[in-house]
Structure 1
Amino acid sequence: MATGGGWAPPRLDEFILTERLGSGTYATVYKAYRKKNAREVVAIKCVSKKSLNKVSVENLLTEIEILKSVRHPHIVELKDFQWDGDNIYLIMEYCAGGDLSRFIRTRRILPEKVARIFLQQLACALKFLHDRNISHLDLKPQNILLSSLEKPYLKLADFGFAQHMSPWDEKHVLRGSPLYMAPEMVCNRQYDARVDLWSVGVIFYEALFGRPPFASKSFTELEEKIRSNRAIELPSRPRLSWECRDLLQRLLERDPEKRISFEEFFTHPFVDMEHMPGAESLAKATALVVEAVKKDQQGDSSAALSLYCKALEYFVPALRYETDARRKEAIKSKVNQYVSRAEELKVLIASNNKTLLQQGNPARDILKEMSKDKPRLYAALEVASAAVSKEEEGKDDYETLDLYQQSLGELLLMLAAEPVGRRRELLHAEIQTLMGRAEYLKEQIKMRESQWEAESMGKEVLSDSVWSSCTLQ
């Protein structure tokens, strides 16, 4: 069967090779069917022996060695490899959803929630590799495949540049694609495993904003941007959560010494690998609900609400993980009960908090009066007052939380430098109050999002949104 360019695919005894899926420097990938089992679809990477030089032979052998040794739900499986006089064939798992680059391009940008699911899955694959001292070194959307378009989940592919490499091993060979390459790789040609974290940042940026941070019209312009010392600025639109922005900025840190570490990345609250769908999700949710009911019966509304919210953070992935329709329906029914009770508690607590807010905070007013000689401290207290006002008016929770976090960031710095005395005592008490308010708001936002997610999963008919179809299997 002829393919693009008039070339016929090579012949393999056990397989029927059909359409060409893509081609690179020294390999072409075809969709194929196993003759003995017509239902099994695979992707076959054909590497022409004529095109191989010493480096590409080494790359290919490394790819085969690494893929043979790894089995992970988010890494493309190497099923087998064969060779004949002309080619070497890598028989791979077939991913019907194409690559992440095309997925982003057809949607222009991905909503934060969808990008987060994909990021969690990529982090899961990278943790598996990191634990085995394997660095990919060519992370880009074209090397991340999707299992399908109906229920997409990520599969990391193309390990041609991968290396067995401890985080402290330094390399000097230029690898990968300039758009996704860490600055230290391009500028110094000396780098370590942390280059993969920069690439994750670029991929994540592209998913959220529709273009990579160094998008350029020419290679000269691209090189100039890579070599510049300017910090990467994040566009103000679309609006992103504080955790999302924080992670992006820490991944896209030009200096590898200041860049987020692998351990910090895997435990970052936005990546939140703890709440990825898995076999333990339901047990963790149930244990938290038992505690929530106890606190509820004891009349401790705040603790009960907090535990119900934490339980929901496990119930949503439990719903996504469950494949049995009847069990899924039973979980959803329980979730609805807990959400209703949490809503009742929320109203009760909000009513008490509103009374406290309306009474004002004389300590904050005294502290502001005492801080007029310290413009930076006074400004941070003004931001805190703005946050309290917004909360009292019931305005945008996300914006209010941003204000609380801004003011707390400044006030904590001020507290560290404040000498012992009355102002320090008041400042310490004010920070405690603001932290409590910020935590409460964060829980409200999480509970609302968990509720939306649980509801969206309960719908029998999938909507057009990608979110409703992003199910981890």
Structure 2
Amino acid sequence: MAGPGWAPPRLDGFILTERLGSGTYATVYKAYAKKDTREVVAIKCVPKKSLNKASMENLLTEIEILKGIQHPHIVQLKDFQWDSDNIYLIMEFCAGGDLSRFIHTRRILPEKVARVFMQQLASALQFLHERNISHLDLKPQNILLSSLEKPHLKLADFGFAQHMSPWDEKHVLRGSPLYMAPEMVCQRQYDARVDLWSVGVILYEALFGKPPFASRSFTEVEEKIRSNRVIEDFFAHPWVDLEHMPSGESLARATALVVQAVEKDQDGDAAAALSLYCKALDFFVPALHYEVDAQRKEAIKAKVGQYVSRAEELKAIVSSSNQALLRQGTSARDLLREMARDKPRLLAALEVASAAMAKEEEAGGEQDALDLYQHGLGELLVLLAAEPPGRRRELLHTEVQNLMARAEYLKEQVKMRESRWAAESLDKEGLSESVRSSCTLQ
């Protein structure tokens, strides 16, 4: 806070109070609208005398970009004004402070919390990149939180943002060195993908409490991050899982899958029906997170309970059928082991698969069994590709197919159990959001 004699600037229609933060060109204040609503806002005050040509262009670009977009995870620019001394950006107020403070007061964030934040950040970035906008200064200090009780991430501070097509290249150095991509730091030439590097650094800081390239000098930063590794397809990554992010579409997608599940169930295809019910649950849980109306929320929960019960019945039917198939394949499996005696690696992989089957029989052993299946199948698929034609290859091919089907079935059971736990935890945690009234239940 400022010392004696300090006072915020005056702006028609608002009462400016405490200072929230300040930077090279701007100071941000908490403010109240004088209108009847007494709306709380954040006002970014930029003294005109602090602006040179480049910073004025950045400010105008920031206003242009923010006025033209609206997204639940991008801080909203409500209006902007100016007088003889200052330019004022009237922004959405975020009571939770910034992500940097949020991380450091907790030391590290649990992976589940970090994942939700990454989903929200990915959603905002995908929205921007689809409109050929790059932020170019992603860092925890520029990511705000709606509140501390139920924090929702809001991407802020677009002072360095640019309109950039994916193939555009720039060379002006922008942003903060700790979060800059190698091509910005080392080559001074970059494109829109630099935002994704910054996301990776932010995720690392959230999970480990400090950025991966913390350094004492710019030269040290440059040495640490110099690399030619390719950035993965972030938006499609299963850990980010944007597909199942809570949204107004979650309930509709869950309902559509249930319709298909019921059709398969009526046709007597228990395995397909079970798979569809499990996929529906993956969308019902986000729908419950997104729902704000208590009555509709209870209606969704009741429906989910019915679908879980039917899925459990189908699980018993499919499990019985799978066990029968496993027993029928015993003789072929024994023959394959006998034929693998001169192949230690193949024999070891088959033993891992056997251990997976044994673990599957244990109560609560699904996840351990799934891990073993995945490990064993990884080996068996490599060996199958190298196996010459013949009886052993035929047996191995059949065994791999059976194991893959079994692993896929188990994966769905684990997901169904996790979805059920997540739905039950909503009652305990009191989590809620909103869903559109146009969504209907089957």
Same fold, TM-score > 0.5, yes or no: yes
How many angstroms does 1:451 deviate by?
0.9
Tell me, yes or no, if structure 1 residue 317 matches structure 2 residue 317.
no
Partners of 1:178 and 1:50 in 2: CA distance: 27
How many angstroms does 1:450 deviate by?
1.1
Alignment of 1:101-180 (within 5 A): 101-180=100-179
Tell me, yes or no, if structure 1 residue 276 matches structure 2 residue 245.
yes
- Code of the aligned partner of 2:95: A
Tell me, yes or no, if structure 1 residue 384 matches structure 2 residue 347.
no
How many angstroms does 1:67 deviate by?
0.7
Look up the SS of the partner of 2:90 in the other structure: strand
1:177–1:412 Cα change, 3 Å: farther
Partners of 1:352 and 1:76 in 2: CA distance: 53
Contact 1:74 1:156 in 2 (8 A): yes
Tell me, yes or no, if structure 1 residue 83 matches structure 2 residue 76.
no
Which residue in 2 is equivalent to 1:190?
A: 189
Contact 1:153 1:472 in 2 (8 A): no
Q: Report the aligned-residue RMSD.
A: 2.8
Which residue in 1 is equivalent to 2:232?
A: 260
1:414–1:334 Cα change, 3 Å: same
Partners of 2:343 and 2:214 in 1: CA distance: 43
Look up the SS of the partner of 1:70 in the other structure: coil
Look up the SS of the partner of 1:123 in the other structure: helix
| Number of residue pairs aligned between Structure 1 and Structure 2 | 435
Look up the SS of the partner of 2:311 in the other structure: helix
- Code of the aligned partner of 1:183: P
Moved over 6 A (4+): none
Choose from 370, 387, 394 the match for 1:401.
Answer: 370
Which residue in 2 is equivalent to 1:239?
A: none
- Code of the aligned partner of 2:231: R
How many angstroms does 1:360 deviate by?
7.2
Which residue in 1 is equivalent to 2:438?
A: none
How many angstroms does 1:31 deviate by?
0.6
Choose from 394, 409, 432 the match for 2:401.
Answer: 432
1:94–1:299 Cα change, 3 Å: same
Partners of 2:333 and 2:181 in 1: CA distance: 46
How many angstroms does 1:219 deviate by?
5.7
1:38–1:324 Cα change, 3 Å: closer
Partners of 2:415 and 2:166 in 1: CA distance: 34
Alignment of 1:192-341 (within 5 A): 192-216=191-215, 222-227=221-226, 229=227, 254-255=228-229, 258-261=230-233, 265-341=234-310
1:295–1:196 Cα change, 3 Å: same
- Code of the aligned partner of 1:260: E
The more displaced of 68-77 and 173-182 is 173-182
- Code of the aligned partner of 1:326: Q
Contact 2:182 2:222 in 1 (8 A): no
How many angstroms does 1:131 deviate by?
1.0
Tell me, yes or no, if structure 1 residue 412 matches structure 2 residue 400.
no
How many angstroms does 1:307 deviate by?
1.8
Look up the SS of the partner of 1:442 in the other structure: helix
Which residue in 1 is equivalent to 2:417?
A: 448
Contact 1:277 1:472 in 2 (8 A): no
How many angstroms does 1:332 deviate by?
0.9
Contact 2:291 2:433 in 1 (8 A): no
Contact 1:183 1:226 in 2 (8 A): yes
1:331–1:38 Cα change, 3 Å: closer
TM-score, normalising length: structure 2? 0.88
Contact 1:4 1:20 in 2 (8 A): no
Partners of 2:285 and 2:124 in 1: CA distance: 21
The more displaced of 117-126 and 299-308 is 299-308
The more displaced of 407-416 and 358-367 is 358-367
Partners of 2:175 and 2:293 in 1: CA distance: 42
**What are the superposed Cα offsets for residues 115-166 of structure 1, whole Å, 9 maximum, x if unpaired?**
2222222222112111111111111222111122232222111111111111
Look up the SS of the partner of 1:109 in the other structure: coil
Partners of 2:317 and 2:277 in 1: CA distance: 15
Look up the SS of the partner of 1:30 in the other structure: strand
Partners of 2:335 and 2:208 in 1: CA distance: 44
1:429–1:72 Cα change, 3 Å: same
Contact 1:120 1:276 in 2 (8 A): yes
Which residue in 1 is equivalent to 2:60?
A: 61
Partners of 1:279 and 1:16 in 2: CA distance: 35
Partners of 1:183 and 1:382 in 2: CA distance: 45
- Code of the aligned partner of 1:437: R
- Code of the aligned partner of 1:311: A
- Code of the aligned partner of 1:48: P
Show structure 1 runs of 5+ residues with no match. 230-253, 463-467
How many angstroms does 1:88 deviate by?
1.5
How many angstroms does 1:9 deviate by?
1.4
1:428–1:192 Cα change, 3 Å: farther
**What are the superposed Cα offsets for residues 227-247 of structure 1, whole Å, 9 maximum, x if unpaired?**
3x5xxxxxxxxxxxxxxxxxx
Overall identity of the aligned pairs, in %: 77
How many angstroms does 1:367 deviate by?
4.1
- Code of the aligned partner of 2:232: I
How many angstroms does 1:430 deviate by?
2.6
How many angstroms does 1:374 deviate by?
5.6
1:111–1:340 Cα change, 3 Å: farther
Which residue in 2 is equivalent to 1:94?
A: 93
Partners of 1:104 and 1:403 in 2: CA distance: 35
Contact 1:153 1:471 in 2 (8 A): no
Look up the SS of the partner of 1:168 in the other structure: coil
Alignment of 1:457-468 (within 5 A): 457-459=426-428, 462=429
- Code of the aligned partner of 2:414: I
TM-score, normalising length: structure 1? 0.82
The more displaced of 429-438 and 135-144 is 429-438
1:288–1:5 Cα change, 3 Å: farther
Look up the SS of the partner of 1:17 in the other structure: strand
Which residue in 2 is equivalent to 1:238?
A: none
Partners of 2:12 and 2:150 in 1: CA distance: 33
Look up the SS of the partner of 1:279 in the other structure: coil
Look up the SS of the partner of 1:103 in the other structure: helix
Look up the SS of the partner of 1:97 in the other structure: coil
How many angstroms does 1:364 deviate by?
4.5
- Code of the aligned partner of 2:290: Y
Contact 1:78 1:90 in 2 (8 A): yes
- Code of the aligned partner of 2:212: P
How many angstroms does 1:194 deviate by?
1.3
Show structure 2 runs of 5+ residues with no match. 436-442
Partners of 1:396 and 1:101 in 2: CA distance: 39
Contact 1:152 1:470 in 2 (8 A): no
